[in-house]
Structure 1
Amino acid sequence: MLAFAFSAALGNGLALTPQMGFNDWNAYGCNVSESLIKSTAQAMHTNGMQAAGYSYVNIDDCWMTHNRDSGGRLVPDPAKFPDGTKRTADYAHSLGLKLGIYEDAGTATCAGDYLKYDNCNNNGVSAQSRYTAMRDALAATGLPILYSLCNWGQDNVWTWGAGVGNSRRTTGDISANFAGMLSIFHSNVGLASYAGPGHWNDPDMLEVGNGSMTATESRSEFSLWAEMAAPLIAGTNLPSVSAEILSMLINSRVIAVDRDPLGKQGTMVSSSGGRDVLAKPLANGDVSVALFNETGSTATISTTAAAIGKTGASAYTLTDLWSGASSTTSGTISASVPAHGTVMYRVAGGTSGGGTGVTGAVHAVGAGACLDVPNSTTTAGTQVEIWSCNGGANQTWTHFASHQFTVCSGSSQMCLDAYNNRTTPGTKVGLWSCNGQSNQQWTLNTNGTITGVQSRLCLGVAGGAIADGTLAELQTCNGGSSQRWTLG
């Protein structure tokens, strides 16, 4: 079956891989100035960041006066930009960099080459209409302007943003601490099916090197953002950045994962007790794996080649993307991960197929309805149901070669789960955090049935009913229409 079709990408030829650059807000807030932007551009030009792929120097809020000129044009604050923004842009261009600017889709702001368009003071006007109007205005200029939507993840922007902008914020504002970063990660990780070349999910700018973020936590953020194919927009003091933080920001192995031309956002393979495994398929057949420890103590985190979609080899090569060290494994992928830390491997060998998955609605043949997460709940143990097909995220499932079925419910990615590892007919089938166990593995059979790997029973509609709200359960396979499904 064909993958589920979301809104088409913008098609302006920009951000075919996630954009990279700098934004002043996280480090400086409203204290932006011409001298700050120029010194930052110079630092990026000489410290290796530009060579690593950071090409945009973005000015955030507070660069302008509150009033337009007589011609209706925005006016740079003369105290902050005495030579105007054009001279600043000219300076960035002279270094081979590009300049970005901030504006707002409302009546006032929140306090070139790239436009970050915010959402403050919007007076309740439809976000989609406001952002679409600016898309059309940018297109009318005929200039290659990367368009970054910043509506804080409201209005399910991931469902319509692809055709409007090159990236869209999927979350509220990030903060410079581990808890804030972790919350943002959880909000974005389940939205992989909506991202791709030219239209990326944006979990906000990097806090690497800022606030209370330790080096370990900063490395985790950079790893996770790369694994999620997110824009890499540095937000720290670059003219004074430490050697340790700079080395993170220009790690070519991790950046290559983020900007891999296949354009797939990594997905959660398993998550249990704060121990997360993510996998991201890469264009050459390798798979990037991130082992992330959310907990406050060192933990061993493990997965397998099969779970990340790798098969067909007696040995696989693991390259540690932070240390550069290589090792081999017959299948187990495991590491001791420090508290709040992340280990990243690039896994080579064999064949790949599980990372990309097949995405779409799961249609109940007998009922003419779709497998549905009730009210987009994120409550573990909730039994799934059938409901009239509506194209919602809570009816959009991805099946991987590792046999997991995942769904984006609310802003969380969860797995289809046979309750409590039970293997008897009538066992409820519902949602649970992905953990890689066999009760979360399902086989799509050529006769249209879906069977549990652990139970060998069929996914069925209770009582063979066709009404909206009828629950799904495990059943003894009988070939009936209430046990047949199509994906796509």
Structure 2
Amino acid sequence: MISISFLNCFFLVFLFLFFSDVHGSYNGLGLKPQMGWNSWNKYACDIDESIILNNAKAIKEEGLLDLGYEYIVMDDCWSKHERNATTGRLEANPDKFPNGIGSMAKKLHDMGFKFGMYSSAGKYTCAGFPGSLNHEQIDADTFADWGVDYLKYDNCFNEGKSGVPLISYERYKRMSDALNKTGRPIFYSLCQWGEDFVWNWGNTIANSWRISGDIFDTFSRKDVRCPCETIECFALQGDHCSVMNIISKASFLSSKAGMNSGWNDLDSLEVGNGGMSFEEYKTHFTMWAILKSPLILGNDVSSMSPMDKLIVSNKELISINQDIGTNPAALIWKKKYGDEYIELFSGRLSNNDWVVAVLNAASEPLKMGIHLSDIFVDALGNAEHDWLATDLWNNNVKLVSDRIRANVASHGVQVWRFQQYKVKNTNDKFFSFNKH
């Protein structure tokens, strides 16, 4: 006979394992990629309280807060050039933020948002303002006092404390520990540019980590200021990195992200900043969504065009990005096509649904058949079933038994949600759909 004490112990072990799985991130935050807005891509150093609040108001008025864009993140250039000589604390530039950071944070909280702050794990921030290296606890306490919910933590002026994973880990861990000691839940976002293989250690101290140099508003233009083409690169990660440059790095890191670890950050979105075509922005947003990058707007939301809003409001793609318990889509194959490449991605979703995407980076359109055995290379039994494939940009539905026909524009993407088709009678599927 099993004793009561044994059953109690078994139950406690079960609870521990269950909640360890559900609350697997290092601080209980970030069970899905963060969504919101960041000031840098559009405004760089030209920020003030009105710019931050006006974009927040526009996000709310456009219904984007209801879609999940909840973090308003103020980037670099917000502070004075010197710390307070008496307290050692960071202070806001009074010309830009005359009411102080805490007052602005309260206004954002009252609007239903969470507030994000910026600093750097260096002597200075990237724009030359005081950084938080060797000031971690006093800065974390200051951020908590101001009501900060999110910290983007950069990598500039790090005094040589990089080049080896352990050194970078220890530098970033100091702020991680400091944030936790405040007692305030603060989402911790590393902006470490993918140096020192951050995807191997960031998940134990942070909620997300950048995997490349800074994004630039271009689809595939190569730039010497972004010298790294792969994740194995040991050169300076740089900036002016194209969308395709970042995708090529992120596509090999799908296994490094998830609910129980954290998220590969592909950098803020450029949709709405004018450097790419509508088709290219669709590709940009689609790939960020299915690779489960944070979806952080980086434009002037108050002047967003209806077409740009259409892209960032795609509820089906957002639901895939925010699907708790699922991992980024995986790169299945990459093939030469014309002057560039075509790529197939697939990934498991909740309820045994799948996301499938064909990316065409070439300058000519693509038409081809994609076999189920390719799509389900990690679950070949699924290739024996029929599937309903819903195109997530035009909502067209196909019944797929053997392969699906892709028709992808130049620099475009076609993305579907696959749902297993259950036939109710022998004639049902022939009446409802054409087979592909």
Place the TM-score, normalised by the shorter chain, in its bin: 0.7 to 0.9
Aligned to 1:13: 28
Q: How does 1:320-469 map to 2 (within 5 A)?
A: 320-349=391-420
Aligned to 1:483: none
8 Å contact from structure 2 (residues 370, 406) kept in 1: no
Q: What is the rounded CA distance, in whole Å, between the counterparts of 2:48 and 2:368 in structure 1?
A: 45
Question: Within the alignment, does 1:86 sit opposite 2:102 as a pair?
Answer: yes
Q: What is the rounded CA distance, in whole Å, between the counterparts of 1:134 and 1:312 in structure 2?
A: 47
Question: Within the alignment, does 1:184 sit opposite 2:246 as a pair?
Answer: yes
Aligned to 1:438: none
The gaps in structure 2 that reach 5 residues or longer are 1-22, 128-147, 162-166, 221-241, 423-436
Aligned to 2:187: 146
Q: Select the residue among 253, 270, 293 that pairs with 1:207.
A: 270
Question: Within the alignment, does 1:259 sit opposite 2:299 as a pair?
Answer: no
Aligned to 1:231: 294
Aligned to 1:315: 386
Question: Within the alignment, does 1:306 sit opposite 2:373 as a pair?
Answer: yes
Q: What is the rounded CA distance, in whole Å, between the counterparts of 2:351 and 2:213 in structure 1?
A: 34
Q: Write the letter of the residue equivalent to 1:292.
A: L
Q: Aligned pair in 2 of structure 1 residues 134, 9: CA closer, same or farther (>3 Å)? A: farther
Q: What is the rounded CA distance, in whole Å, between the counterparts of 2:200 and 2:405 in structure 1?
A: 35
Aligned to 1:478: none
Higher strand share: 1
Q: What is the rounded CA distance, in whole Å, between the counterparts of 1:91 and 1:324 in structure 2?
A: 38
Question: Within the alignment, does 1:275 sit opposite 2:317 as a pair?
Answer: no
Q: Aligned pair in 2 of structure 1 residues 190, 314: CA closer, same or farther (>3 Å)? A: closer
Q: Write the letter of the residue equivalent to 2:203.
A: A
Q: Aligned pair in 2 of structure 1 residues 27, 301: CA closer, same or farther (>3 Å)? A: farther
Deviations 1:44-100 (A, max 9, x none): 111011010110000000011111112111111111111111111111101110110
Q: What is the rounded CA distance, in whole Å, between the counterparts of 1:297 and 1:96 in structure 2?
A: 44
Aligned to 1:37: 52
8 Å contact from structure 2 (residues 383, 402) kept in 1: no
Q: What is the rounded CA distance, in whole Å, between the counterparts of 1:104 and 1:314 in structure 2?
A: 51
8 Å contact from structure 2 (residues 26, 205) kept in 1: no
Q: Secondary structure at the match of 2:303?
A: coil
What is the CA-CA distance between 1:169 and the residue it aligns to?
0.4
Q: Aligned pair in 2 of structure 1 residues 160, 302: CA closer, same or farther (>3 Å)? A: farther
Q: What is the rounded CA distance, in whole Å, between the counterparts of 1:307 and 1:297 in structure 2?
A: 23
Question: Within the alignment, does 1:173 sit opposite 2:214 as a pair?
Answer: yes
What is the CA-CA distance between 1:262 and the residue it aligns to?
2.3
Question: Within the alignment, does 1:123 sit opposite 2:147 as a pair?
Answer: no
Q: What is the rounded CA distance, in whole Å, between the counterparts of 1:314 and 1:199 in structure 2?
A: 33
Higher helix share: 2
Q: Secondary structure at the match of 2:246?
A: helix
- The 10-residue stretch of structure 1 (296-305 or 324-333) with the greater mean CA deviation from structure 2: 296-305
8 Å contact from structure 1 (residues 195, 201) kept in 2: yes
Q: What is the rounded CA distance, in whole Å, between the counterparts of 2:39 and 2:287 in structure 1?
A: 21
Q: Write the letter of the residue equivalent to 2:418.
A: V
Q: Write the letter of the residue equivalent to 2:72.
A: V
Q: Secondary structure at the match of 1:284?
A: helix
Q: Write the letter of the residue equivalent to 1:117.
A: Y
What is the CA-CA distance between 1:313 and the residue it aligns to?
4.8
Q: Select the residue among 110, 131, 142 that pairs with 2:126.
A: 110
Q: What is the rounded CA distance, in whole Å, between the counterparts of 1:168 and 1:23 in structure 2?
A: 15
Question: Within the alignment, does 1:59 sit opposite 2:74 as a pair?
Answer: yes
Q: What is the rounded CA distance, in whole Å, between the counterparts of 2:410 and 2:185 in structure 1?
A: 43
**TM-score, with normalisation over the residues of structure 2?**
0.77
Percent of pairs identical after alignment? 38
Aligned to 1:133: 174
8 Å contact from structure 1 (residues 177, 211) kept in 2: no
The gaps in structure 1 that reach 5 residues or longer are 1-7, 352-488
Q: Write the letter of the residue equivalent to 2:125.
A: T
What is the CA-CA distance between 1:10 and the residue it aligns to?
4.0
Q: Aligned pair in 2 of structure 1 residues 224, 302: CA closer, same or farther (>3 Å)? A: farther
Q: What is the rounded CA distance, in whole Å, between the counterparts of 1:150 and 1:293 in structure 2?
A: 29
Q: What is the rounded CA distance, in whole Å, between the counterparts of 1:183 and 1:284 in structure 2?
A: 32
8 Å contact from structure 2 (residues 41, 299) kept in 1: yes
Q: Write the letter of the residue equivalent to 2:363.
A: G
Q: What is the rounded CA distance, in whole Å, between the counterparts of 1:200 and 1:13 in structure 2?
A: 14
**TM-score, with normalisation over the residues of structure 1?**
0.69
Q: Aligned pair in 2 of structure 1 residues 157, 314: CA closer, same or farther (>3 Å)? A: closer
What is the CA-CA distance between 1:314 and the residue it aligns to?
4.6
8 Å contact from structure 1 (residues 209, 215) kept in 2: no
Q: Aligned pair in 2 of structure 1 residues 121, 87: CA closer, same or farther (>3 Å)? A: same
What is the CA-CA distance between 1:326 and the residue it aligns to?
1.2
Q: Aligned pair in 2 of structure 1 residues 217, 176: CA closer, same or farther (>3 Å)? A: same
What is the CA-CA distance between 1:301 and the residue it aligns to?
4.3
Q: Write the letter of the residue equivalent to 2:254.
A: A
Q: What is the rounded CA distance, in whole Å, between the counterparts of 2:63 and 2:334 in structure 1?
A: 35
Q: What is the rounded CA distance, in whole Å, between the counterparts of 2:385 and 2:173 in structure 1?
A: 51
Deviations 1:195-227 (A, max 9, x none): 011510111111112242111111001100111
Measured on the aligned residues, the alpha-carbon RMSD in Å equals 1.5
What is the CA-CA distance between 1:119 and the residue it aligns to?
0.2
8 Å contact from structure 1 (residues 65, 74) kept in 2: yes
What is the CA-CA distance between 1:304 and the residue it aligns to?
2.2
What is the CA-CA distance between 1:331 and the residue it aligns to?
2.2
What is the CA-CA distance between 1:303 and the residue it aligns to?
2.1
8 Å contact from structure 2 (residues 373, 383) kept in 1: no
8 Å contact from structure 1 (residues 275, 301) kept in 2: no
Deviations 1:146-185 (A, max 9, x none): 0000110000000111001000001111100002111011
8 Å contact from structure 1 (residues 276, 301) kept in 2: no
Q: Write the letter of the residue equivalent to 1:303.
A: I
Q: Write the letter of the residue equivalent to 1:340.
A: H
